[in-house]
A and B are shown apart, each in its own frame.
Chain A
Amino acid sequence: MKVRLKIWRQENAKAKGAFVTYDFEEVSPEMSFLEMLDALNQKLIKKSDSPIAFDSDCREGICGSCGLYINGRPNGPEKGISTCQLSMRAFKDGDTIYVEPWRAKPFPVIKDLIVDRSAFDKILHAGGFISVNTGSAPDGNSILVPKEYSDLAFDSSVCIGCGACVAACKNASAMLFVAAKVSHLALLPQGRPEARERVKNMVMEMDRLGFGNCTNTGACEAECPKEINLTNIARLNREYFTAKVL
């Protein structure tokens, strides 16, 4: 099959970017979307053009490196997957496909489709951990955790830090990302001692880094490749309120 690609090209952080059109005919439906870009890049290099820069690593939807805005949606048309899990089966012969980097002020473009997501790391530096030194942990079974809470914590902890939630949000809010980490740790007894400080510090850092506010549109939940739900944001708000007021 063949597709017309309109891909965002931008030489570096300071350069002005633009869409460049590529007609690509050697596409097969078994390819993943990124393998299609790999194949296009091979062609570009051979023609002495600059290949398209994009991040990816594990190629199985777990490392969170990849993440492209495809036809106006993070990770393209299918739900619950990262970009590397998107197959060309999702497109038809003759389709035009727009490919852009994540767009958000706290995620500046580095080159082409690569953005700087270090703001996420910074939010976690502010409190995304339990302060326990190596060697001082009690026996694993001395902390009993109701299965229900443990499972809920797991559901929140599967966030891959890809940034699709921010990219999907018209306010570039990082609430779902922060909520997932706050929820994961707040739901576990091990995380309770620092829960108040943690939520205050992480929210403060999120605001300082320029992420927008949450207006409950739910775009983040709709586009999260791990389908982390809005309940997490409700929990984050409750944790934050309790920490600030009580």
Chain B
Amino acid sequence: MAILDAKIPEGSLAEKWTQYKNSVKLVNPANKKKLDIIVVGTGAAGSSAASALGELGYNVKVFCYQDSPRRAHAIASQGGINATKNYQNDGDSVYRLFYDMIKGGDFRAREANVYRAAEVSSQVIDHYTALGVPFARDYGGSLTNRSFGGVQVSRTFYAKGQTGQQCMLGSYSSLNRQISEGTVTMFSRREMLDLVLVDGKARGIITRNLITGELERHSAHAVVLASGGYGTIYYLSTLAIQSNGTAAWKAHLKGALFANPSFAQIHPTSIPQLNEYQSKLTLMSESLRNDGRIWVPKEKNDKRHPNDIPEEDRDYYLERRYPAYGNLVPRDVGSRAAKERCDAGYGVGPTGLAVYMDFRDAIKKQGDKTIEANYGNLFQLYDTITGINPYKEPMQIYPSAHYTMGGLWVDYNLMTNIPGLYAIGEANFADHGANRLGAASLMQCSGDGYFILPFTISDYMADQIKTPRIPVNLKEFDEAEENVRKRLEKLISINGTQTPTFFHKKLGKIMWDYCGMVRNEEGLKKAAELVKELKHEFWTDLKVPDNLNELNQEIEKAGRVSDFFDLAGLLITDALNRKESCGAHFREESQTPDGEAQRNDDEYLYVAAWEFKGEKIPHQLHKEKLKFEEVEVQVRSYK
């Protein structure tokens, strides 16, 4: 198991990062200019990493599939970004944020990484503020905070319901500055379709130019994947419709371990599905749970208008089941509770797959104006999509696939097991365990990009200064490009009858039904069979129109869906292996008598990191044992 050395520095938790920074190898400024780094993805992680590395003087090449780096999906994050400033004097500290993340992640995250993420969170806020991110302020002009995601302190910085947009535009602006200075070269409308290894090290990528269809080779001394999560494996999710797992999956096929793939977070509050053509589910920020009360009717099939249902006929089931946390229970708990009520027949709306989130009491107490100031854009968003005014009647919400805690396995340096290949932000697995705490994603992505990777990559780059620029005419680039070309040609030549979207929807349904909020062995085994059958159908009956050498959005989709089939197989394998409930992963076989999740620390206190061994050969499991030195492993209870 030497393969899984997390390289956690010695010393006490609070001192590890400082000591690491004091001892890490540095690269002198003259040498940095001679070193190339590729960054794939331009979200909060990719843009911040690229700009920070550019500022240091490295030669950075950045890639995104969108027409502009500003469009990466961090832009859609709504509620906020955590930091341990303790501006509210309510007892917050690095340790408390660390502890909330460890506990929220249900003791399946790596202590040292989480502590460091909490440690740099304050710097992230300082930096964004200096970049001009207009976080909410109080009348004295200082920054203000709110409580978010089931924690008992107010440490979340926010910009109305558009915190992600503002942070994204902040990191995009720092990226633009480096582009104008010439340290960063931007390649937009490019999709990474393979990773190139030379002598076992990550040395480049193959991309497809999405306008011309041309395959391109790019080389570097190191490659950083900031390609986001794979929640669109469920087809309907809160993600952008083009978000995908391809970059990470291609790296996995080249040897990078994939960790905890089945840890997918189902967000409790999104707008329910309205029709069969629906392409995505829109999130309603969970900040709404600060003032929205969640309920269903006490009677099954109560068809009365929600405003006509009196107080005594309403079941505020979260307040009932979890009196200490009420409507602010963590995401997984809230999601399962909603599913439980709907499965039991108490759901509302046309499909019965929805619960009410009601602002009546908050509006009565605080007034329309205050509610509008806090949530105005979210209310408007809801009204636009559903045609229902949430000032007048409750919102309908239902859980949807949202964030993937799983991702490429990385060590303390954020390096995968492939030398020179790094994974940051949602693309890695490191900081959120089995369940992500609210407002910890922007925080982790930006922390990784601005304040962690620039240090840790230096340790590797210091050994690269004698390596000249990597030429792109090496045989390894020839082979990788040829493989990409063959796969694309195969996809387009099947010439069957069904579209990539048809298969994606079917795959998503299987994953949602059997590998979503609640899983059991029988269902997972069935899902494995169904995915296998559907994958066969995909490769024999797919239809991709037009040609490869032009802008062809269907071949883009086909490629991503083809990788989702393989990732789905691994996701199910991982879910089957983990015969415990933990965080977002709820195994029916493993629950307490009153229906709460039952962890099994004796057998599953590890990170499951899977190695690809070849087509049709089972993945090999590597276990990274989790050691909790600072915190006591406890049962999560929100009662």
Contact = CB atoms under 8 A, between A and B. Distances in A.
Contact of B67 (A31, A48, A65, A143): A65
A56 B169 contact: no
A32 B280 CA distance: 11
Interface stretch (A16-24, A110-118, A206-214, A216-224): A110-118
Given A51-B545, A143-B129, A63 B75 contact: yes
Contact of A137 (B130, B180, B384): B130
Interface string B156-171: 0001101011100100
A44 B85 CA distance: 55
B129 A118 contact: no
B240 interface: yes
Interface stretch (A33-41, A93-101, A165-173): A33-41
A62 B162 contact: yes
B19 to A, nearest CB: 18
A141 B176 contact: no
Q: Which of B173, B186, B387, B454 has the most CB of A within 10 A?
A: B173
A134 B450 contact: yes
Nearest to A89: B387
Contact of B279 (A34, A46, A129): A34
Interface string A62-89: 1111000000000000001100010101
Interface in A100-147: 110-111, 114, 116-118, 120-121, 124-141, 143-147
B66 A184 contact: no
Contact-size category for A: 35 or more
Given A58-B75, A61-B381, A121-B68, A45 B241 contact: no
Given A59-B240, A130-B131, A137 B123 contact: yes
Q: Which of B72, B141, B451, B546 has the most CB of A within 10 A?
A: B141
A55 to B, nearest CB: 6
Contact of A64 (B70, B282, B545, B546): B70
Interface residues of chain A: helix, strand, loop or mixed (majority): loop
B282 A134 contact: no
A117 B545 contact: no
Contact of A140 (B69, B125, B174): B125
A145 B71 CA distance: 28
A61 B141 CA distance: 30
B83 to A, nearest CB: 8
A3 interface: no
Given A45-B545, A57-B242, A132 B130 contact: yes
Interface stretch (B261-269, B319-327, B497-505): B497-505
Contacts of A158: 162, 165
A188 interface: yes
A158 B188 CA distance: 22
Q: Which of B131, B139, B454 has the most CB of A within 10 A?
A: B131
A157 B545 contact: no
A12 interface: yes
A50 interface: yes
Given A30-B275, A157-B134, A129 B52 contact: no
A32 B276 CA distance: 11
Contacts of A127: 180
Contacts of B380: 80
B551 A110 contact: yes
Nearest to A120: B68
A116 B67 CA distance: 8
Contacts of A136: 130
Contacts of B162: 62, 158
Contacts of A57: 66, 71, 73, 240-242
Contacts of A89: 387
B87 interface: yes
A26 B546 CA distance: 24
A150 interface: yes
Contact of A48 (B72, B274, B545): B545
A51 to B, nearest CB: 6
A42 interface: yes
A55 B67 contact: yes
Q: Which of B132, B142, B454 has the most CB of A within 10 A?
A: B132
A114 B132 contact: no
A118 B70 CA distance: 11
B67 A42 contact: no
Contact of A45 (B76, B180, B554): B554
B543 interface: yes
A161 B240 contact: no
Given A125-B176, A131-B177, A147-B138, A50 B169 contact: no
A237 interface: no
Contact of A30 (B130, B274, B282): B274
A49 B127 CA distance: 50
B454 A134 contact: yes
A42 B279 contact: no
B51 interface: yes
A12 B76 contact: no
Contacts of A36: 277
B620 interface: no
Interface in A149-171: 150-151, 153-154, 157-158, 160-161
Given A44-B545, A63-B240, A135-B451, 12 more contacts: A12-B550, A35-B279, A48-B545, A64-B70, A65-B71, A124-B176, A130-B131, A130-B173, A141-B85, A161-B68, A161-B70, A185-B132
Interface of B: 48, 51-52, 55, 66-73, 75-76, 85, 87, 123, 125-127, 129-132, 134-143, 159-160, 162, 164-166, 169, 172-174, 176-177, 179-180, 186, 188, 211, 240-242, 274-275, 277-280, 282-283, 380-381, 384-385, 387, 450-451, 454, 497, 499, 501-502, 543, 545-546, 550-551, 553-554
26 contacts: A31-B275, A45-B554, A46-B497, A51-B545, A51-B553, A55-B67, A56-B241, A58-B240, A60-B282, A60-B283, A62-B164, A63-B66, A63-B73, A89-B387, A118-B188, A121-B188, A125-B176, A125-B179, A130-B130, A132-B131, A134-B48, A136-B130, A141-B143, A154-B134, A161-B70, A190-B132
Interface of A: 12, 28, 30-32, 34-36, 38-39, 42, 44-46, 48-51, 53, 55-65, 80-81, 85, 87, 89, 110-111, 114, 116-118, 120-121, 124-141, 143-147, 150-151, 153-154, 157-158, 160-161, 184-185, 188, 190-191
Top 9 A-B pairs ranked by shortest CB distance? A144-B141, A137-B130, A129-B173, A154-B134, A137-B126, A30-B275, A57-B240, A140-B129, A63-B71
